[in-house]
Amino acid sequence: MITARNVFSADGRMLLAADKEITESYIRRLQEMEVYAIYVRNPLFDDVEVPLVVSEETRIQSMQTVKRAFEVLRNKREDVSFDAIQGVARRIVSEVLRNRRALVHLTEIRTHDDYTFAHSVDVCGLSVLVATHLGYNEVRLQELAVGALLHDVGKTKVDAAVLNKQAALDDDEMAMMRSHTMFGFDILRCSKGKLTLPSIHIALQHHEKYDGSGYPRGLSKEEIHEYSRIVSIADVYDAITSDRPYRKALEPHEAYELMLVNGSQHFDPQILPIFLKRIAIYPVGTVVRLNTGDIGVVVSVPPEMPLRPTLRLIMDKQRRLYPGSIEYDMQNHLTSFVDQVVDGRELLKLI
Ligand SMILES: [Fe+2]
């Protein structure tokens, strides 16, 4: 196998470059570093590109910057430079503005140790994307982006044993976990005027729920700042589509369903549909079975019609392989629909 993308550690060091043959010793080294999944080339899909709303380079740089800011804020030994956070926020805003018509294909593999930083950056990208569709100007996008990058900064004050606990939290631990909102607000309030109050409130309010059932204050509806209403949607979606120590990630189509079901109670009913419209329910690379019995891989998704992607067909309902690469544009076959998402690893065993 050949690597399809660069493999980075949480602090942005390149562990393995793209286009390298993956030897046994590389695999052992990566496992030692707790990297359990990487992108590999597949000759059938070499030409397929996953559209990115935020480039890989910006994502990695932002993760490093967030990590450094969290470390400094945790230790409080020196003043954190919010300029660096402002800088990456600006980069994310300008890339999202350029790609705002694209859908979000959640395909990033996260390593175990970089979750908080990757999560912060991805929540920022998703939030900014939604806000561009709410008509935000650049000043507000920037305020939102900064606050989203730092929304979980209060976790630096939560015991790591509680943060990473695999089992359910007891009442005290839950209270500790929930206090990351207050901690975050307190940390950012001391930012000496470098951050605006609406930005800082995202740390405090991102676990409030539209129906008033959230924390820390049980605010509801417009009592919750709009920035926080946006970030709470991005936060939940990103969290449930990520592997965590205590549960496996949901597939985007499962997460989509869950968000719809809980949507009316937890989220702003005006903002949730705008968010869901930007999500590729079947991201590029998803293996799907159609109602016709055909199995194919999603190779592109039209942003206006995310339920009708273009597939590359792999096998028919008798499990006969299709020769070569047959493209199947579901927009031209309106009676076909996706019946099921197939585990890609299962498919590899069949072909
Ligand atoms: Fe949080």
Q: How far is the CA of 308 from the centre of ligand 1 (A)?
A: 34
Q: How far is the CA of 90 from the centre of ligand 1 (A)?
A: 22
% residues pLDDT > 70 (the chain)? 93
Q: How far is the CA of 239 from the centre of ligand 1 (A)?
A: 10
Domain segments of the chain as ranges: 7-41, 56-277, 287-350
Superfamily holding 56-277: Hypothetical protein af1432 (1.10.3210.10)
Q: Select the more confidently predicted residue: 190 or 54.
A: 54
153-200 per-position pLDDT tens digit? 999 999 988 888 888 889 999 999 999 999 999 999 887 778 999 999
Closest CA to 279 of 255, 312, 262, 311: 255
Q: How far is the CA of 291 from the centre of ligand 1 (A)?
A: 39
Q: How far is the CA of 32 from the centre of ligand 1 (A)?
A: 29
% residues pLDDT > 90 (the chain)? 53
Q: How far is the CA of 177 from the centre of ligand 1 (A)?
A: 9
Q: How confident is the model at residue 110 (pLDDT cuts 50, 70, 90)?
A: low
Chain CA centroid to CA 69, Å: 20
Q: How far is the CA of 347 from the centre of ligand 1 (A)?
A: 36
Q: What is the pLDDT of residue 276?
A: 94
- Rounded CA-CA distance 158/53 in Å is 31
Highest mean pLDDT: which range of 13-27, 175-189, 243-257, 331-345: 175-189
Q: How far is the CA of 34 from the centre of ligand 1 (A)?
A: 24
pLDDT at 111 over 70: no
Q: How far is the CA of 180 from the centre of ligand 1 (A)?
A: 7
For residue 190, how many C-alpha atoms fall within 13 Å in the half-sphere facing its CB? 13
- Rounded CA-CA distance 339/225 in Å is 39
Chain CA centroid to CA 350, Å: 30
pLDDT at 208 over 90: yes
Q: What is the pLDDT of residue 11?
A: 65
